[in-house]
Amino acid sequence: MLASGVSAQQAAVTPYLPVEQMPDLIKCLPAPPAFDSPEFAYDMMRYTWGKQQRLNPERAAIARRDAVWSYEALVAEFAVPFGLEVNREATPEIWKLLETSLTTTDAIRVAPKAHYLRQRPFERYEDKLLTDEEDELRGEGSYPSGHTMRGWMCALLMAEIAPEHADTLFARGWMYGESRVIVGAHWQSDVDASRVAASIGYCALQRSPEFREQMRRAQTEYKEKTGQASTIEQKNTRKTRHGSRKHRVKRH
C-alpha cells in the first residue's frame, strides 16, 4: 500500500542512491510519542489548532492544494517563492534534479511508516478530513509524513539552486507541513520529524556525484531562465547540451 503511491512514471526514474545506501529513519528518528505522553498532549492541542485554521477559507484552500500527491502539484506550489515556473519542458535540468532527488528520498519513509504504523488523527477521533484522502490514508502509518518530507526537500533543493530566495522557500516549505495538520492527516510530531527526515535525506544526496553534477546544471539553467547567467556560462551550457544531443544520435 505504501509503495502504491508512487506513479509508474516516478518508478521509472533511477534514484541517485538505492534505498539500501540511504539512512535508516528507524535508527535516525525517535519513536512517535505514546498516546499517554506529554508530547502527545501537544499533538492534541495542535490538532485543535488545525481545525481552527480550516475556518480561514484562504488557508484551507492552500491546505487542500498541498494535499495533492504529485510532483507537478508540489513544484507548482513553490513557483512563486522560487521565482520561476518549473516543468519538464521549460526547465528540464531543474525538473530532472527535483524529480530524481524526490524519488530517491521518498523511499526512506516507507520503512518507518510500516514499522510504527501510527494511527492518524482523523482515525483516532473518527473525524472527517478537510480533503478526500480518507480512503487512501486509512490504515497507513502516520509517522513520518510523506507530504511534509516532499515539501521540505523541495525547499532544500530550490534554496540551493536559488539561495537568494531561501527565506521565502523555507517559509513555504514550513507551511506545506502545517497543511497536513490542518487537513487532519497528521499529528504535529509527524510533521516535525518529517522535516528532520528530509534534511537527513538531503545530506545523503550529497554523496552522489550524479546529484552534484545535476545540481550544477540546475543552477546554471536557473540563472539562464532568470537572466543571471554570464556569457561564459551560457556558452558552456550550449556546448554540454549539443554534446548530449550528438551522443544520443550516435547511440540510435
- Are the C-beta atoms of 1 and 139 separated by less than 8 Å? yes
| Separation between Cα atoms, residue 179 and residue 54, nearest integer Å | 10
The model's confidence at residue 249, banded by pLDDT at 50, 70 and 90, is very low
Which ranges of the chain would DSSP assign to H, the alpha helix? Answer: 8-11, 25-28, 38-53, 57-66, 71-77, 79-82, 92-106, 110-116, 121-124, 134-137, 146-161, 166-183, 188-205, 209-225, 231-251
Look up the CATH number of domain 49-215.
Answer: 1.20.144.10
* 240, pLDDT greater than 70: no
31 compared with 252, residue with greater pLDDT: 31
Q: How many C-beta atoms surround the C-beta of residue 60 within 10 A?
A: 17
Question: 109 with 144: CB under 8 angstroms?
Answer: yes
pLDDT tens digit sequence for 2-53: 444 444 455 589 999 999 999 999 999 999 999 999 999 999 999 999 999 9
Cβ atoms < 10 Å from Cβ of 108: 23
- What pLDDT is recorded for position 184? 98
Question: Domain map of the chain by residue range?
Answer: 49-215
Q: What is the pLDDT of residue 229?
A: 72
Catalytic residue among 118, 120, 165, 186: 186
Task: Exactly one of 147, 150, 165, 195 is catalytic; name it.
Answer: 147
- Active site (annotated) includes residue 252: no
pTM of the shown model = 0.87
